[in-house]
Structure 1
Amino acid sequence: MSKKIITINLSVIVFSLFFFAWILSGTLVYQVTYASSSPSFEIQEMINENREWFQTYGNSDLNLKNNYTDILAVNYFSDGETLKATLWLNAGINNYTNFSFKNPLNKINYGMLIDADSNTETGYRGADYDFYVELSGGNLSAYLYLLSSTGGYRLLDSKIDFTEPLDDSGAFLGSVDFDLDLSSINNPSNYNLLFYSAESFQFNEVRQFTSWVNIPPPTLQITTSPGEVSIRQGESLMVPARIKSTTGFSNDVVNITLSGDNNLDYAIASGFNSSELIVNVERIQPPLFEIEIPKETPLGIYSIPLVVTIREPSEAVITKPISVESLGGKVDPEFEIAKEYPTVGYLTKPINLTVTVIAPMSTNDQFKEFWGTYGSFIGIFAGGFIGAFAKDLFDRRRKKEN
């Protein structure tokens, strides 16, 4: 009887262990799934400073380098599930009637390279995916490729001839839109993007690249010396500063604009003038501000709005030639640029410089500051004077005694 009871109890224990293990495993799976979602962020705009075409293969740019592949700016945002991007172009392709879109030798690509793990050692020169839309023969198609550090590539997904862009609706007139389902690249939590356009004719191709952008978008941070800037009413102060982004790059400031009320920007030379503070940018690199506090400025903490542009390092990469239409293969070295070429990334963000306005010094404060500055010198001088006087007095007394 006792053996039977023990057997039943052991069965209950084993069942309980499996039950709790099942619950625990389910909880872990849920947590991993939840943690793998991509970050959502508001719309960002990047001005393309790298408006230069590169010959990716061939030796002629005849009929290439057109304005409809010249990228002026890029807007991008995400809800955590879909990444949406808009490339703003110098002109719409509908404006060029002399370009034959029915010729299969003419192709236009708009796309983006994705560094899904923020590791430049993986993927093809750092890019793990290549997602682009292609206009060829009057039809539009989309492709998503997986890239390897070996130079290999494999087609993950495609959508062929899903729209007719050249119609009366004015599609692609000065811009191009595309959406990327982030689950197709495993919902990265931190990733980098590089947008590009490509234009090919026969056996020649040129491309234009933007700089890399970081997801989630970085912010700018400012540090001053001293750390807390306090200025008395009626006084001014020179404030050295350091500005860098949250991506970890050291500051390389190329522009500082002082913003006023109603989002008005003032030239650097004129400075930022208000009824309460007078601020001038004395130097951009490294940043140096002159802040003047009028006597009538109320006491309190003030935030000086700035718009800062910094330069960040970036390097463009070359993906597979757009003339290759296959499920996979290898990048032909003949189609690559002979040497890597760096590009420059620019980050423009608002930032606030905080200043505390304090009361002017009282007579007691002035005496304390004076004594703190000259007290030791006065003490030494007074000590020497007293010593000399005491010696003279001692000598006189000794003479009298003699």
Structure 2
Amino acid sequence: MTPTFRQAARKSAVAALSAAVGAGLLTAASVAAAPTAQAATTCGGTASIYGILPDGRLTFSSITPATGQLKKVRVGVDLGFEPKAMATLNFNTVLVTSTTGALYRLDVLTNNESLVLERPPVKTFDSGWTHDKLTYDGHGHLYGTAGGVLLQYLVSQPKPTGSAHIGQRKEIGSGFVLKTLTAAGDDRLLATTSAGALYSYRIAGDGSWDRDDLKASGWSGFDQVVSPGGGLYYGRIEATGAMYWYKDADPADGSGSDIAYHNDTPVNTGCWTQELLSAQPGTFACTTSADPLDGRDIPAVKAAGRDLMNKHDGGAWNSTTQWNCLEQLWDKESGWRYWADNPNSTAYGIPQALPGSKMDAFGDDWRTNPVTQIKWGLSYIDGQYDTPCGAWSHFLSHNWY
């Protein structure tokens, strides 16, 4: 029962998004007048999600943050026990509880071309782990709920072997009867209720906590909500297997009014059949700079673009060949102007995102911050064409990418 995870329903939306037009279509006014840059807040990173299918097999999914497009899915072996809750510690370590109260550690050897475990699941605890929810904040704290009680544990090793590495059990509070629970940052939790409320929790060092009510309703359809950090949220609808994505411009402000809903471009309209999902924590993040790049200095913008490209995907694109492709591509698209506004469509910015508002996933300053636009563009190219040269080749054939 291997899921296909196809995106046929999204093809037209993705094609429309990718239809960034060629050079020569920018008006003189759009080239000459650059809007004033604001304080720079840019986001970047990846979205990686582990899951477990109803038949017990482990899955790994990678999602392009720029567009919500599903990049790849890998399906692994049957774990050999009935899982109950799961939390991802890092890129190759996942914790899973069983219905009998045991806690297992999964050591992933690779999730690239295939999903392979380095060894069979390692039982780190024989009993006592009866949690119905489990999540890791990426900063040393594992959280779980059991019987409405929220518990916190300290994880001191990337591959914990037992009580020496998972301990300091702390009862945070009772009344945590939640439908979903995920970590959204350092000691910050995101949760939904059966009634559809969306909550954000902040846990203090002494174990005290407070709650922000982000939304009073509207989130009841999701049976799984996960976050790779940076205000990026993914929700799975159990009834249809659809996966939707959302971007909170400021996940620390205690307000849900700035959450952007991308319901027009879902990750999938079906096929997410996993009973459990868990995002790798802290892989998508936002930073604010008090000294933003001068976007009108095109050589400086290109230098920043090359630096970001060289670092993308662990340096996989760090070559003169890939840079030549990217430089020519965005020379044609926008002249590397962050204010490039296509008069014949809603395409905007250095990568000519269509519409420009799609770049809000990488920062609410997408209109004026070239770094935000470049990061979005690199993520988009990665998900759609694998490399800048792949995008440039498509542009040469179609005059858009």
Which TM class, normalised by the smaller chain length? Answer: under 0.3
Q: TM-score, normalised to structure 2's length?
A: 0.24
Larger Cα Rg: Structure 1 or Structure 2?
A: 1
Structure with larger RCO (C-alpha < 8 A, sep 6+): 2
Q: TM-score, normalised to structure 1's length?
A: 0.24
